[in-house]
Structure 1
Amino acid sequence: MINEQLLLDFNAEICEYSKGKIIFSENNTAKYYYQIVSGAVKMNNYNDDGKEFIQNVFYKEQSFGEPPLFIDVKYPANAVAFSDCKILILEKESLFKLLYQYPEIHLNITKSLANRLYYKAIIASEISSQEPEHRVLRFFDYLKKEVAKTEGEFTYKIEYTRQQIADTLGLRVETVIRVVKNLEKKKKVKIIKRKVFR
């Protein structure tokens, strides 16, 4: 989103996180801007029973955790390394200096946040009113078209496990397994070596 060299020019640091490492926790004060150089990061919460709900997953060149920086609130979720990853980290004050000097970057961040809000509204609507098969297919299409920006039949490999899909969409893992099998029968997805392609 923001040119890596520009971030480094404003004293960003590159930090490495191994899979499963917590980057920040729910209710922490927001102090930094995070942008992924490689790997992936998930935002999650846990309910009272310890069940995980995945809010979103972010990939290379995406940023995460920005809203609390702009409105001085605590993080509403945890950020956890979804895989081994490298992340550019910039202090809040330095980010603001950068944005004042480069207002077009501020506009790009605003567009990115608007996209995420739109996606959240779509997913909330899907979870509350749609059948599981529709929810899963809509989620796959979001990942393929909006995140990976990939086109063509069966060109996108879903990196989520069945459990992670369930945690993201508020479904039981057994339901996701059944839905994916049905989608394969309908030739809407392809399963190769247990991996799902859309």
Structure 2
Amino acid sequence: MEKESEVGMSKSLISELNKLSGDIFEVIKHNKGSYVHRRGDCAKHIYRIDHGTIRICNINKDGKEFIVKDLTAGEWFGLIGCFGSGKRPNDAIATNDAIVSRIEFKNILELLNINPPLYLSCCNQLAYYAEHYYNLAESAVFESLYDRTLMMLRQLCLWQKTQEVKITQKELAGLLGVTKEAVGIQLNKLKSNGLVKLGYGCIEICDR
């Protein structure tokens, strides 16, 4: 199975999607804090980020946020809702001013019908999503929060392509599904062990 080091679409699927005519895309500008879609919305489109950052997350009734991934320009999202229940499983929020192109799912189905091998790419992609979320659930049971925090920081290094990741403790807590206070304790342990350096709105990883 072709995999990426992030919660995004495989390169083969992206390559085919990027060949689609620009005439079938609708370009939408989103201001910082605006929703591309909300959890529970009807899933009729998939999306490509042309500029800015879109956060895939869920926020419960108490305001606690679980962050799945911050997606940036060139990345696609929206596949799970379209192929799954027909409803969006999460929120997609612009974390800064963004431009997003969207395409109706029916056009994707037409592409698949004339290019059957792409069905396999879609199946592989959905299987990867399932594996990714299973691994998150498994690590929450078997791994200590200390180890999970360090693993997440290493993953963020890959996503952001830097040793000094731009993230707040609140956002890191959202990615791990725990409280800010719990993350703060683990970061101080990592700092004491010489594995990270803490800054304002950033964390430098020293063990890679």
TM-score per shorter chain, which class?
A: 0.7 to 0.9
SS at match of 1:191: strand
Question: Which residue of structure 2 lines up, in the alignment, with residue 166 of structure 1?
Answer: 173
- Same amino acid, percent of matched pairs: 24
Q: Give the gaps of 5 or more residues in structure 1.
A: none
Equivalents in 2 of 1:110, 1:39: separation in Å? 28
Aligned counterpart, 1:97: 110
Alignment of 1:68-147 (within 5 A): 68-103=81-116, 105-145=118-158, 147=159
Conserved? CA contact 2:167–2:201, under 8 Å: no
Tell me the SS of whatever aligns to 1:68.
helix
Spell out the pairing of 1:1-198 with structure 2 (5 A cutoff).
1-2=14-15, 6-9=19-22, 11-103=24-116, 105-145=118-158, 147-148=159-160, 150=161, 155-198=162-205
What one-letter code is carried by the residue in structure 2 that aligns with 1:86? I
Displacement of 1:27 in angstroms is 1.3
| 1:7-59 Cα shifts (integer Å, max 9, x gaps) | 34451122221221011111111010112222222222233423222233322
Higher mean C-alpha deviation, range 20-29 or range 112-121: 112-121
SS at match of 1:100: helix
Structure 2 unaligned blocks of 5 or more: 1-13
What is the aligned length? 192
Q: Which runs of 4+ in 1 moved over 6 A?
A: none
What's the CA shift string for 1:112-166, capped at 9, x where partnerless? 4333322212221222332221111111222333x34x4xxxx333233211111
**Structure-2 separation of matches of 1:105 and 1:17:** 30
Q: Counterparts of 1:106 and 1:87 in 2: how far apart (Å)?
A: 24
Contact kept, 8 Å, 2:30 with 2:99, in 1: the verdict is: yes
TM-score normalized by structure 2?
0.78
Provide the alpha-carbon RMSD of the alignment.
Answer: 2.5
CA shift at 1:5, angstroms?
Answer: 5.3
Distance verdict in 2 for CA 1:197–1:100, change over 3 Å? farther
State the distance in 1 between where 2:16 and 2:195 align.
37
CA distance in 2, matches of 1:144, 1:115: 21
Contact 1:41 1:58 in 2 (8 A): yes
| TM-score, reference length from structure 1 | 0.81
SS at match of 1:124: helix
Counterparts of 2:164 and 2:188, CA distance in 1:
16
